[in-house]
Structure formats: structure tokens, C-alpha cells
A and B are shown apart, each in its own frame.
Chain A
Amino acid sequence: MSLTIALSKGKLLAGTEDLFRRAGLPFPSSEGRRLVVPVDGLRFLLVKDMDVPTYVEHGVADCGVAGRDVLLELEPDVYEPVDLGFGRCRLVVARPRGASGVDGASTVRVATKYPRVASVHFLERGRSVEVVRLAGSVELAPGLGLADCIVDVVETGRTLEENGLEAVEEVAASSARLIVNRASYHARREEISGLVGALEKARRS
């Protein structure tokens, strides 16, 4: 049976394709709407970025490509043998520019797609926190009074700026990672180490 690889349909897809092609590995063509795509001895699953770790943790996929931000949020029990080097971004706390902000309030209200990361970040610093979980457009929340601040990923910071926000604390740095199911890593050692080796080599080149 061929190795199954779970890929995010989101922002990591282009970088993943580039790296796989440089590594001489097969990759599904960008046209087509199939979600399970066999290509030259590998089988690809195209899923939502937050779902990649779930497929891999359960062993439905042997490996996957996921952002470190997503891994921090979901804490899946998987191996993360390769930092693939692309998809670099930062998870930050951002608040309205010039707001005296989150320091004074006794409870921080934070809007985020990363409820676990956000609540741990504040709780570890001795702050009570109220998490408003959103699926997207998180930057709107402070301006509309839904939250005092947000925890979100930023690449260039332009979206923050356009919405009148500024990053005030870095929570973590992120980049794309190859993740591997624990059982597959041992039970399909040779195929997995071939894939890991090819991707590591391509990343360094």
C-alpha cells in the first residue's frame, strides 16, 4: 500500500508543491476537485489545515504538512521530524493601535482561531482570559467591541495595519512542518525515512 499524505488546501499548499517538486516527489495537479488523489505511488488527501493533524494522529494518513501554529493549538500526538522552512509566520497578540489596552483590564477578552494557545498564553502570565472563538476575519473583533485584542498569525503585518491593529507580544514563531504518524514511523520505517530524507535534502538545496 502506498503512503498517504494529508495536505492543507490552504495557504501552505503552494509552498508544499514547490518543495515536493524540488524533492522530485510526485504531487497532485492543481486542477481537479478530488479530495483523495493517488499520484505515482503516493496517495494525497486534501483537507482543511486544522484537520491535517487529526488525519495523521489517527493514522488515516501516514504523514502530513501542517503549520506549527496549528500543531500548537491542537497538540496532536505525532512526530514532527522536518521543519520544511516555508510558511513562516508569527502568532502574536495584537490590539488597536494606541489602546492602553490589555494591561489594565482584569480579564482579557481575546478573539482568536487558536483558543487553546490564546488562553494558555494569558493564563501562564497570571491573567484571566475570556476567549471568543472565531473561524476567520479575527481582525474585525476589537474594532467592533467583540474583544480587547486578538491572537492570530501574521506574515507581513499588513492585514493588522489595515484594520488599525498592532502586534504587541509574540506568542510563537511558526513554519510548515512534516508530521508523521507514530505507528507509521515505526511500522513503515523505510518508506517514511525515504520521504523525510528527500524533503530534508530539498529544503537545504
Chain B
Amino acid sequence: MNGASHRLVQVPPGVQCFLGDEARRRRRIEESVITVFEGWDYEEIIPPLFDYADVFASQALLPKTYSFVGRDGSLLALRPDFTSLLAKIAAGRLAGRPAPMRLYYSGEVLRYEPPRAGRQSELYQMGLEHLGGEARAADAEVLAIAAECLDVLGVRGFVLALGHVGVFGGLLAGASLDAATLERLRERVEAKDAAGVRDALPAGALPAAVAEALVRLTTLSGDTAVLGEAERALAFCAPARAAVGELRQVTEALRAAGLGDGLAIDLGEVRGLDYYTGLVFRAYAPGLGFEVGGGGRYDTLLARFGRPMPAVGFMLGLDRLALLLDRQGARPGSAAAVAEVVGGDGLGAGLQRAREKRAAGVRVRFEGRP
């Protein structure tokens, strides 16, 4: 469609090019985050840029996935997400490796985004997956790592908002609602729109206590005191109460470990990616209107690949982190050292001098003349 109508230097919408200070800053941020991941004994995986389309499990990402037909007729997709790829690798290539496995990644994902301000098609994500292992310990570990990453980067005032998909899911476990009604309810709970939740409730299809609890989810957010309120409000529903119990266990561990300040509870946080099965969280900080990252527990995803195993993970978006740090006035490693000009007459001799300087670790600019 573009044909000859676009100029050759024109950039297609949704992609970015970074240079100079900006590129350097992104690299510094990535290094800092990876150092934290390595510090918690996570191992890097560099997965392929594309894979079979059916590897990517999220229905929600499907309309945003760039897929194409390979030469053999198979449907392929540019990775819209890392988690499914890492799950596949853990179940396949690493099938013989005992759990728990601690894996991390850093790279681009590609998502078709309609042309709209603030949405890029190419996103740089740094994240990790904790596969197998004791669930609450793994939940607490990944949250502690997320907090350390934000701390190390110098993000001020961040909040990790914790929810649990088992609250919403538990409340509706016995109900037979059609998919459209369920989606509408989920969407209105996520928007914290109490009036909208009431409107979306199908008349008579749910017990009054369940309906009232769904409306309550829109206001069950705040500091960890909300958990007590939630335990009372959801006491009648065992699976929802159990979900809140998990959150309590994890938040208490984090508080005891000195991470209480940056924690918030948001039981209306019910959306996330559709493979999440347990705790979910998002990281926010003043200065940026969007979350800088998030994650959650996905205990059923690995079974798709034939190695059932609980798992939890999170990712931080490099693009958003860079923007956030810029807005907060933190500019890690933005200045490059000034180079020393080396060269002069005689290519061989000049190059030799430059190599000596390099061996001493000096940043050089070679300006030799034959």
C-alpha cells in the first residue's frame, strides 16, 4: 500500500530508533536490571525472534500478533511475549532439568498496535520466570527482585500493586455465565466502575452475596489493611478467601523483609494476561501514567507444553523505565567519556599507538593518515 508513496527515510509507525545518550541510557538500565537478575541466580535464555504461532498462549495478544505463513505452510509469529517461549523451552529443551528453574530474558517483543500516541509496536522487555518451586516463596522472591530492580535504578516512590485472579475467578467459579457477560463484568471490575458492575450483573443469575462481592472488588484497593477487609467481605466464598490468604502470606513476608512501604493491594486487578492463575501485580511510579512492568503466577501454562509445573514471572518495560527515569530526573550513565585523538602520520605507527592506548583502557578516536 505504501509503494512509492513513502520517502525512503520515512519511519513506519510504531518503531523507534535510539541514538547517543538515549541509546547509552537504555543500555545502562538494561545492564542494571540484568545484574539484579543474575544476582538472584537467574540464567539468561535468548529465545528465537519467531516461533510457531500456536506456541503463544495468550488469546488477548492474538489480535496484536504479527503472524505469517512459513515456506512449509506453517503459521509462524513474531514473538509478542516471552513467557510462552520460556515455558516451551523449559518443557522441551530443558525437559531433563530439575525444578525449580530460574530463567531470564531481555529483548524485543513485537505487537501490532493501532497508530495511537504512546503505543509502540516494538517493545523492549526485561523479565524473568521462576518455574517449579514452592509457590509462595517464588511469589515473594520475584516481587523482591522487582523491587530491587526499581531501587537499583533509582526509581522514587514506586508502588507494587498486588491482586489475585482467584478472587474474581473464585467468586464466579460456580456460576455459568456466557463469555460476553463474564468479559463485561471483568472489564467493569477492572475499571473500578461499581455502577457498571451492577449494570453488567445478569438479573438473578448470581447469588446476592456474590453480586455484592463483585461490586465490592471495585473499592477493595489500598494499603495492606485492605486484606483484612477483603477477608471479611469474601468470607462466604472459600476459593476467593484462599486467594486473599495467599496475598496475605506474600505481603507479610515482604513486609518482614523490609519491603512493606512500596506495597499496595488492588483486588480489582483482575485482567492481566489471560494465562495468569494466581497472584498478579503491576509496578507504578509517580511521573508515568502507565505501569512500568508487572507479572503474575501462571500455574497451567506449562501443562500446554507437556510439563505441568507452577510458575511465576514478571517483566519490566525498558521503554517505559527510560521515560520514567527521565521524568523523575534520574539520568543513569548519560555522559560518554571524551575520546583521546590518536593517529598522526604513518598508518602502522598510528594504529600501534591507538592499540597501546586501548590496552590501557583509554577511549580513543583514531585519526590516522597514510
Contact = CB atoms under 8 A, between A and B. Distances in A.
18 contacts: A54-B117, A57-B118, A58-B290, A77-B290, A81-B193, A81-B194, A83-B194, A177-B193, A181-B289, A183-B285, A183-B286, A183-B291, A185-B221, A186-B266, A187-B158, A187-B284, A188-B286, A189-B264
Interface string B138-162: 0000000000000000000111010
A80 B195 CA distance: 9
B284 A78 contact: no
Interface string A41-75: 00000000000001011111000000000000000
B222 interface: yes
A37 to B, nearest CB: 21
A69 B299 CA distance: 39
Interface string B262-302: 00101000000000000000101111111100000000000
State which size class the interface on B falls in.
Answer: 20 to 34
Given A59-B287, A59-B290, A183-B284, 4 more contacts: A58-B118, A182-B289, A183-B290, A186-B284
B197 to A, nearest CB: 11
Contact of B291 (A60, A79, A182, A188): A182
B273 to A, nearest CB: 15
A81 B118 CA distance: 24
Contact of B222 (A57, A181, A193): A193
A183 B266 contact: no
B218 interface: yes
Contacts of A182: 282, 284, 289-291
A163 interface: no
A83 B218 CA distance: 13
B186 interface: no
B196 interface: yes
A185 B264 CA distance: 11
Contacts of A184: 289
Contact of B288 (A54, A177, A183): A183
B196 A183 contact: no
B191 interface: yes
A187 B192 contact: no
A80 B222 contact: no
Q: Which interface residue of A56, A57, A58, A59 has the most chain B CB atoms within 10 A?
A: A59
A90 to B, nearest CB: 14
A193 B222 CA distance: 9
Interface in A77-105: 77-81, 83
Contacts of A78: 191
The 5 closest A-B pairs by CB, nearest first: A59-B289, A183-B284, A83-B195, A80-B193, A79-B192
Interface in A144-190: 177, 180-189
Given A57-B289, A181-B289, A79 B191 contact: yes
A187 B282 CA distance: 12
Contact of B289 (A83, A183, A189): A183
Given A79-B191, A80-B191, A182-B284, A58 B218 contact: no
A189 B193 CA distance: 17
A151 to B, nearest CB: 20
B309 to A, nearest CB: 31
Q: Which interface residue of B158, B195, B196 has the most chain A CB atoms within 10 A?
A: B195
Interface in B227-277: 264, 266
B222 to A, nearest CB: 6
A186 B195 CA distance: 21
A171 B50 CA distance: 41
Nearest to B285: A187
Contacts of B118: 57-58
Contacts of A59: 287-290
Nearest to A184: B289
B41 to A, nearest CB: 30
Contacts of B192: 79-81, 180, 185
Nearest to B286: A187
